[in-house]
Structure 1
Amino acid sequence: MSEMDGMAAARRIRERDDKVVIVFITAAPQYAISGYEVRALSYLLKPLPWFAFSQELKKSIDMVRRNGDDSMLIETGNGQMRLNLADILYLESIRHTIVIHTLEGKLSINGTLKDVEAKLADHHFFRSNSCYLVNLKHVTGVADQDCIMSNGEQLRVSRPRKKAFMAALTDYMGGGR
């Protein structure tokens, strides 16, 4: 590559996303050890027979499938970052901004709660009212019209959504994970 070598590209990729599967295909075996720095899945030497390539491709796809469902890529002011869904407590809509409340703090992104809700539909998030999308994993209890989160916060569950919220929470706690 003319502007940067593969190792520099891999380092830049790792800065943004630590789950990307990296496989080096090269004619330079002396750089194989450097692949460990960026946690490359493998380092294949040219000429590469089709069978070896197809086996490596299957291995890479399996790795992506194992790691793919538990995170989402978000666009922040500084670029993109991967966020583990298990780290999200809840998402809050404030005007045209989504505030993502995580175990580590808060992140803000542009968008609508409706769009994020659609992306997280199969990941045990529930719309408790017009401005909250709650991660059921972090709900520790329910008191009156509020759900109690693992960080102690209490979030309002709207009256029309309470029955469906309780059903979703019961299903999740009962093993619908």
Structure 2
Amino acid sequence: RERDDKVVIIFITAAPQYAISGYEVRALSYLLKPLPWFAFSQELKKSIGMVRSNVDDSMLIDTGKGQMRLNLADILYLESIRHTIVIHTLDGKLSINGTLKDMEAKLADYHFFRSNSCYLVNLRHVTGMADQDCIMSNDERLRVSRPRKKAFLTALTDYMGGGMG
């Protein structure tokens, strides 16, 4: 739980007294041995379904100190500074190794758009445009390069017009 808030935990044990521990870590279920195969397979299907529904809106990042799950909705934008990606979130900044190009590929289906060579912007947090800048929900202004402006506006319009997912 400390490492990943969304991980699915299932307790399988012969000792019912540990059920309380299951509640403490928000376990999906608590199964007692001996466990029939059918009950186990149903539980597995349920947990896979939960994992699939969670995958859509988060990603695992390597912070150098270990892995961490990050909600995509909490990301305002990603910024490339030399060989580092700075992820600007609602809670602050995180730095990871990598390239904006790789992150752009990873986040292609999640309404992130490359506004210029330095920024990958979460369209969910764009509240408007002013000249060459997009205005973010935290009132920051990020430059949209001239060659990308038309495509950026199209992506933003599509997102606001019903591409919201």
Q: Secondary structure at the match of 1:175?
A: helix
Map Cα deviations across residues 58-95 of structure 1 (whole Å, 9 max, x no partner): 11011111211111111113211111100100000000
Stretch of structure 1 that moved more, 73-82 or 101-110: 73-82
Structure 1 residue 109, shift from structure 2 partner: 0.3
Structure 1 residue 144, shift from structure 2 partner: 1.1
Structure 1 residue 52, shift from structure 2 partner: 0.3
Count of equivalent residues: 163
Map Cα deviations across residues 106-136 of structure 1 (whole Å, 9 max, x no partner): 1100000001111101000000001100000
Which 4+ residue blocks in structure 1 deviate beyond 3 angstroms?
Answer: none
Stretch of structure 1 that moved more, 109-118 or 74-83: 74-83
What TM-score do the two structures reach when normalised by structure 2? 0.97
Residue 52 of structure 2: which of 46, 56, 65 is its match? 65
Cα distance in 1 for partners of 2:5, 2:86 equals 23
Q: Secondary structure at the match of 2:162?
A: coil
Contiguous gaps of at least 5 residues in structure 2: none
Cα distance in 2 for partners of 1:31, 1:99 equals 41
Q: Secondary structure at the match of 1:152?
A: coil
Cα distance in 2 for partners of 1:156, 1:30 equals 58
Cα distance in 1 for partners of 2:21, 2:147 equals 57
Structure 1 residue 28, shift from structure 2 partner: 1.1
Cross-structure match for 1:173: 160
Stretch of structure 1 that moved more, 24-33 or 110-119: 24-33
Cα distance in 1 for partners of 2:124, 2:117 equals 20
Q: CA RMSD in A?
A: 0.7
Stretch of structure 1 that moved more, 147-156 or 71-80: 71-80
Contiguous gaps of at least 5 residues in structure 1: 1-13
Cα distance in 1 for partners of 2:10, 2:21 equals 12
Residue identity (%): 91
Cα distance in 1 for partners of 2:61, 2:83 equals 16
What TM-score do the two structures reach when normalised by structure 1? 0.90
Cα distance in 1 for partners of 2:96, 2:54 equals 23
Structure 1 residue 102, shift from structure 2 partner: 0.6
Cα distance in 1 for partners of 2:21, 2:89 equals 34
Structure 1 residue 33, shift from structure 2 partner: 1.8
Structure 1 residue 24, shift from structure 2 partner: 1.0
* Correspondences of 1:149-168 after superposition (within 5 Å): 149-168=136-155
Q: Does 1:75 align with 2:50?
A: no
Structure 1 residue 51, shift from structure 2 partner: 0.9
Structure 1 residue 40, shift from structure 2 partner: 0.5
